[in-house]
Amino acid sequence: AQSVTQLGSHVSVSEGALVLLRCNYSSSVPPYLFWYVQYPNQGLQLLLKYTTGATLVKGINGFEAEFKKSETSFHLTKPSAHMSDAAEYFCAVKNGYSGGGADGLTFGKGTHLIIQP
Amino acid sequence: DADVTQTPRNRITKTGKRIMLECSQTKGHDRMYWYRQDPGLGLRLIYYSFDVKDINKGEISDGYSVSRQAQAKFSLSLESAIPNQTALYFCATQLGQGATGELFFGEGSRLTVL
């Protein structure tokens, strides 16, 4: 079964500083990994995804993430935080549906990113 | 217009009442999902459907039921609502078999059970 652990329910950074949100996963199959962002009173929007190929993936709004198989990690980074980045961020792994397992994505518990002026 | 539309966006109800949350999509996707979001718990899968004849339970299906009325419509029902079903509910779609697994979300339905 798949699982996702996000380290830190709240992360606070200063505007202009590096953003690092941590995600570790467990998967019984080669993982497809995702980062979603949720702004207040909105649904979830895809930031980026890793399926196969290049392990460093770039997403929207200047975010990127690197898949590290040896560390079972998929950490999200952004070189310089902006006030508009304040939101809830979710890491997710695709469920390995196979004759009885659930479909869809398994999500982490989320990290609330706070940007200090 | 949104590709995945949920109604109502907000609902307050009382314990024991029957509630239906509706979802419709214009993306033409085969697969549809209902998730529940609680603070500090992330999103948890309630039910999912591959097509109108294929409904499956997710991680937390107890107390919920669903109906896939058409490819584009997937409803979630609470037959007798209880306070711990107070949550933010999301409908999502996925293209189908062979897709990467990316989900497309509606804007959510906030349900409060008093």
Q: Are A46 and A29 in contact (CB under 8 A)?
A: no
- A-B contacts (CB, under 8 Å): 63
B34: left (phi over 0), alpha (psi -120 to 50) or beta: beta
Residue B6 structure tokens: 């949920």
Rounded-to-integer distance, Cα B41 and Cα B36, Å: 9
Shortest Cα–Cα distance, A58 to chain B (Å): 16
Query: B68 burial class (0-12, 13-18, 19+ CB within 10 angstroms)?
Result: buried
Q: Are B4 and B32 in contact (CB under 8 A)?
A: no
Tell me whether strands B87-94 and B109-113 are parallel, antiparallel or unpaired. antiparallel
Shortest Cα–Cα distance, A112 to chain B (Å): 10
Residue B91 structure tokens: 């409908």
- Per the CB < 8 Å rule, is A104 touching B58? yes
Nearest to A26 by CA among A84, A90, A91: A91
Q: Which residue in the set B48, B94, B107 is minimally distant from A43, CB to CB?
A: B107
Rounded-to-integer distance, Cα A35 and Cα B51, Å: 26
- Per the CB < 8 Å rule, is B101 touching A45? no
Backbone angles phi, psi at A40, to 5 degrees: -50, 135
How many secondary structure helices (H) and strands (E) does chain B include? 0, 11
Cβ within 8 Å of residue A110, ≥6 positions away: A6, A9, A38, A88, A89, A90, B40, B42
Rounded-to-integer distance, Cα A91 and Cα A23, Å: 6
Mean pLDDT of A70-99: 89
At A99 the pLDDT is: 41
Q: Specify the higher pLDDT residue, B11 or A2.
A: B11
Which residues on neighbouring strands pair with residue B34, listed in sequence order? B47, B91
Residue B113 structure tokens: 């059970």
Q: For A35-79, how does the pLDDT look when each residue is reduced to its tens digit (9 = 90+)?
A: 999 998 889 999 999 998 899 999 999 999 999 999 999 999 999
At A73 the pLDDT is: 96
Shortest Cα–Cα distance, A39 to chain B (Å): 10
Helix or strand or coil: residue A10?
Answer: strand
- Per the CB < 8 Å rule, is B42 touching A109? yes
At A6 the pLDDT is: 96
A45 touches chain B (CB under 8 A): yes
Residue B9: pLDDT band with limits 50, 70, 90 = very high
- Per the CB < 8 Å rule, is B42 touching A9? no
